[in-house]
Structure 1
């Protein structure tokens, strides 16, 4: 299911509204920081009190990368807002907290139900700059990303922000590349691992002679960077990895690492048995 992202002006701030499965969600970090509160403490509070409804939704950050945002359903926002005692925050934050408690959920619901064409407030200069940066980040991600479904979702976000800024919306097929075949994409991964083999790099965390392959993606990403291998574990590659038949994808989970000597989170494949390690590899 595709997600929609809307930047909503609110009394000089910008709130991020996310549509997922036809329900509005609110990205919580921007709203927490807009109110002057500490994100670390509020993130723990949100996770504990709203565990059954809180959701991490992928979107594009200002650096153009896909990031997961902690989101609450809009219907749950008032419960969180009123869990904050305006009398207990710093005096300089009190008016801001009360303003959010009184107006925020109504403004967001009005924006969601009436659509982005209804402008609650004209964006001020700082909001225009923030929207422009986000628009550039979306364009960069569209140039980089090859997943068709995600590209459509990103293009919808780009169109919404472009309309808010009064800018034209470039056609999707004019931005970046079309998606490659999943088989071709996962074959690039196995080709990259062959390069690491030739360079004597250990990347398989599975026990030797087990016939299994355990891949720790952050470890692999570091090796790819070290050897200038242009392959990134984006959503398209991850989906292709799940569809891999040879080696056969099994699961993702916690396994014991023969490299690090501890339990790690990794991708598990059933693959060909590798030769015993050389003395140099063992040492």
Structure 2
């Protein structure tokens, strides 16, 4: 009884598999020749070492002709593959021999059981669509994010996703921008206020917990009294509108929650870590 040959794609090659009594058999000559090995020498090895399990199967090819093929059960293919020492083949064949040893039997088994052979690391169409959607989401987040650390983390994620798809990640500079860093003067300013707060000295005159009201003259005086480093008030006033830790809003008079009277204060939206108390 003749059996139809099943062609199986494997990288740039085509392997031939044949079903016999519900067991997958592999035509050996195509594999040997695809790997660049000598068929005559391997035919002898098959006869001597695998004669008890190999079979000559008459099969009908796509041209309608009948061929006698020396076949091995798929379960025995790894034993033959690993009987080949890659270090003893021509250097130009070494990489391909190793590829066959590592992937060939899995590809054939997947084709036999699932009807498809997928190279390791290759995604299905559905997988690629999901990864494309994830890539677009990360790109959108990058465009909308100005925080430097978050942007770097998102860019590393985008690079990894792009690599999965075989794409190069676009330059970070074209995907939005990073907000300017907090000026050093303002970093020292907020650090000094936090130190005062840690000493139990209140500096926030706001009654509304969503804002911070600071009287600069008072903060400078308190910092000097407690020997806390602080830039001079002129430098603070020149940079205060650039504050990022707590963003600057306006300079106005407030009813102080500390002194119980009107005081001229610089007002900030509370975006920091919440350590400044009313």
Could you say which TM-score interval applies, normalised by the shorter chain? Answer: 0.3 to 0.5
Q: Could you say which structure has the greater relative contact order, defined with CA pairs below 8 angstroms and 6 or more residues apart?
A: 1
Normalised to the residue count of structure 2, the TM-score between the two structures is 0.41
- TM-score (normalised: structure 1): 0.40
Higher Rg: 2
